[in-house]
A and B are shown apart, each in its own frame.
Chain A
Amino acid sequence: MLAFGIRRLTISLCVALTVSIVAFFLLHMSGDIAQAIAGTDATPEQVSQIRVQFGLDRPLVEQYLNWAWGVLRFDFGTSFYFRDQVTTLIAQRLPVTLALGGISLLLALIISVPLGVLAAVKQGGWIDRAALMFCVLGQALPTFWLGLSLIIVFSVTLRWLPVSGSGTWAHFVLPSVALGWYAIPAVMRLTRNGMLDVLASDYIRTARAKGLRMPTVLFKHALRNAMIPVVALAAVQFGFMLGGSIVVEAVFSMEGLGQLAWQSIARQDFPVVQAIVLVLAVLYIGLTLLADILNAILDPRIRIA
């Protein structure tokens, strides 16, 4: 188990390194950063002065190493727009995005896993068919449309919840529904199909032959095996949610990382964009690692592989 953990951790670090290199070089090749900082009506002298000031005249590899060294000490440089530490900016916004993603995922799992189990147990029944309909609907509705509809119904018409912002828990309800909605169909279908496969397996027949009660058969013997692919999917979905939060944060004007990324791209605020790409990538890698470890705990066969 320890060897397994160390091996996976090493792979994750390599991936993180690669992402940081790619993010850095892509951004630096996408335009003249000194020009972006100086603005369109700056003189060539001002531009070259800024280039020297920000170290942009140095070779790219040297710039990368400088930046990477900073990153290792949680120093992502200074925002061109805010004239403030990027680390501070991210530290302010990240909790909002993490909370939004976490609540959305939790909401999606609470709805989709029991629904998937129920649909599998009552295969072909009305719950199963209703759940499948719900899935099609869930996948067909675009996030921004759902978000706007929720605002119209619950904020404007019913006046139950705030329209925008991220100050209190009430601000998180609608965005979480809008973001979590999208993950429900995939998780539910995987749970349902996984349960169907497992319920038809020989070891479930054995469990029933032992005279175990139905809840034990379903939740101990079946669900644990059916959850193995779902855990991996949930981690990937959480990653998608962090990315998807750009749209939801924009719709609900939440002060999160997605909103910051969206604004910084428009402002050509390279250090911020670079930092957000790296932070999201590292989060994503961490989630995948967590999923691998959870899978190894659930499935003893993986621990040796």
Chain B
Amino acid sequence: MALLEIQNLTIDIPTSGGLLHAVRGVSLSLERGKTLAIVGESGSGKSLSSLALMDLLPRRAVRRADALRFNGVDLMCATERQKQDLRGNRMAMIFQEPMTSLNPAFTIGDQLCEVLLRHRKVSRTEARDRAVMLLEKAGITSAGTRLGQYPHQLSGGLRQRVMISMALMCEPDLIIADEPTTALDVTIQAQILRVLRDLQSEFGMAMILITHDLGVVARIADDVGVMYAGRLVETGPAAKVFTTPGHPYTRGLMDCIPTPGRTKPGERLGAIPGQVPNLVEELRGCAFRERCGQSRSACGESFPDLWLADDHRVACLSGQSAENAA
């Protein structure tokens, strides 16, 4: 049984301009110990989808799904109490904003130990020992003294290491990392990713990594899901999605990254023309067709769901021809 099973997840947010259909039917599953990267540009619904799993969506947002199962628990029917018992315990989250995600009024140690004390019957000393162990694993030196410090005394990179340690306190089955390196310096980004990957494989956790950085995906993901306008347009093993991208949007994203050796100096990088469609309106057919070089009339009618291989799925009619050609 898969660790996580999502079927037809939708998220609607009421705004002054009308009902915003931010996520429009996302289905995916994740096995134990695997890393799934979800890529897509801002507003594609990738962060909201991950918050929906934790049930941490903004209060006004409406979440619907045909199925949302984690570890055999139906999250759509679970009580608030059951969800509280899962959060921080079996599923944990690392956020995009390390500078503001820690409470300024409490010490690092207090905030770390709190998770373990909430979910396990342990003493303060045991919680403290585990916090020190995890901080050290996350690459923080003199972890013992850090426990007594407040968030404002730590840099962004250190705070994100603290957040990672915090997520690992109860050794969860699933860790959701929502753009964990976006707010950090480039030099720190690589370190944080390495820490995340090492700890994930050491503890054997599954991970959902939300990012818009395809370079990150190539380095640590087993599977990739590409999101566009609230839908998953392509899913598959990272290797396949990178070598034989099936969706024109995925290909467009990859053309945007400079590659040493292939991109000539001074050459213009690829860009996808046009804009993301208005998510307040109902979308018929493929949301990407206005910006797509290969669109045809049939694209306006259906939102296809095609299997390129038994593990590689693409929502594009041109994928059919690619499949036929292959």
* A interface residues, Cβ below 8 angstroms from B: 201-203, 205-213, 216, 221, 224-225, 298-301
Contacts and interface: CB of A to CB of B under 8 A. Distances in A.
B97 interface: yes
A201 B99 CA distance: 11
B84 A298 contact: no
Given A211-B88, A212-B114, A225 B56 contact: no
A205 B95 contact: yes
B14 interface: no
B87 A301 contact: no
Interface string B78-94: 00000111111100110
Contacts of B119: 211
Interface stretch (B101-109, B189-197, B235-243, B307-315): B101-109
Given A203-B104, A206-B102, A300-B105, 11 more contacts: A201-B100, A202-B101, A205-B56, A207-B103, A210-B114, A211-B83, A211-B86, A211-B87, A212-B84, A216-B118, A221-B106
A211 B118 contact: yes
Contacts of B97: 202
Given A202-B97, A203-B100, A205-B56, A210 B88 contact: yes
Given A209-B54, A209-B56, A203 B118 contact: no
Contacts of B87: 208-211
Nearest to B87: A211
- Secondary structure at the A interface, as helix, strand, loop or mixed, is helix
A300 B101 contact: no
Interface string B142-165: 000000001010000000000100
B84 A202 contact: no
A210 B100 contact: no
A225 B151 CA distance: 14
A212 B114 CA distance: 9
Interface string B9-23: 000000000000000
A202 B100 contact: yes
B54 A225 contact: no
Contacts of A298: 105
Interface size class of B (residues with CB under 8 A): 20 to 34
A202 to B, nearest CB: 4
A301 B114 contact: no
Contacts of A205: 56, 95, 101
B115 interface: yes
A206 B95 contact: yes
B104 A300 contact: yes
16 contacts: A202-B101, A203-B101, A203-B103, A205-B95, A206-B103, A207-B103, A209-B54, A209-B92, A210-B166, A212-B118, A213-B84, A225-B104, A299-B104, A299-B105, A301-B104, A301-B152
Q: Which of A201, A206, A212, A298 has the most CB of B within 10 A?
A: A206
Nearest to B54: A209
A301 B106 CA distance: 11
B100 A300 contact: no
Contact of B150 (A206, A207, A209, A301): A301
A57 to B, nearest CB: 59
A87 to B, nearest CB: 43
Contacts of B93: 209
B101 A212 contact: no
Given A201-B100, A203-B102, A203-B103, A209 B88 contact: yes
B279 to A, nearest CB: 22
A213 B85 CA distance: 9
